[in-house]
Amino acid sequence: MTSATHSPRASSRRFLAGLLGAPIAQSAAPAMHERAAEALGLRCHYQLVEIAGAGREELKMVLEGVRRLGFTGINVTFPYKEAVLDLLDELSPGAARIGAVNAVIVRDGRLIGHNTDTSGFARAVTPLVTASPHGAVAVIGAGGVGKAIAFALAGLGVPELRIFDSDRAKAAQLAARLEGQEEIGAKASVTPNVEDALHGVAGVVNASPVGMLPSVDTPVPDNLLHAGLWVADAVYSPLWTPLLTAAKAKGACVMTGRELAIYQAADAFELFTGLAPSIAELKMAFDGVMAKRYAASSSPLPPHALARGGEGRRR
């Protein structure tokens, strides 16, 4: 498997993209990509490919379909960001370093894996990191998105990462991967529980599926949250997870999954087409999906629900 450093260019005014994962029926990705394309004078059909419990052979068949059916590229989400790695022809240097893929582009019949979760999360969380005390950050979850988030935080100069995962081996593998990157310089350690992970940290990120519908749980007990923390969640379905609701009530600075969703989509769109999308259009598309979702539910849209990530503490 070789490294890829190039990106494709849109060869026509139409393109086909999609998302592979499960569950993804609530994804805002189709609305974002299709609206961004329209704003650039392009036509995009963004297809959801929801397959639960796919094994290696089934994933291989799906990716072969992506290769042969005219897709420009496809996003990959939970639970397949790591499972697709060795089914691709090439990996970008970033995806190879992280060990997870969330965007696959098709170039000359070859499938090339990239990771825009890392670049997207870095763009999203920078205001929180720069405005907070320089300290350790806890990362809850060491799967595909957890890997990307940990590398993004290390790249922003976070000096220490405390990693917790219910699968301790996965947490240990991520810590070893980070420690093996000398140019990053972040200390990475595995913690046996969430309490130890959060002890004395400046911030915490939920990179696990806990709190993603239909789950109504939280990965962090409420008593560990306080006004001195910043708290981010990679989940955006619901936008206000139990974790973020509790953190905001404690006065913590919070960031919903909105910004990560938007910025990773922007970077993926550019990989698919070679064109930079309008961030404003992506935000409007995302916010429209969220507004419709809350309107269809019995609960009103929470105050500031669509505010930019990194909103200030309550006074």
102 is in an annotated binding site: yes
273 is in an annotated binding site: no
Query: Catalytic annotation on 81?
Result: yes
46 is in an annotated binding site: no
Of 125, 122, 124, 118, the closest CA to residue 101 belongs to 118
142 is in an annotated binding site: yes
> Would you mind telling me the total number of residues written for the chain in this entry?
315
Contact 30, 48 (CB under 8 A): yes
Peptide bond into 302 cis (omega under 30): no
26 is in an annotated binding site: no
Radius of gyration of the chain from its Cα atoms, rounded to whole angstroms: 19
Q: Which of 81, 147, 170, 248 is catalytic?
A: 81
145 is in an annotated binding site: yes
211 is in an annotated binding site: no
234 is in an annotated binding site: yes
137 is in an annotated binding site: no
55 is in an annotated binding site: no
Residues annotated within the binding site for NADP(+) are 141-145, 234, 257
Residues annotated within the binding site are 77, 102, 117, 141-145, 234, 236, 257, 264
Catalytic residue numbers read 81
Residues annotated within the binding site for shikimate are 77, 102, 117, 236, 264
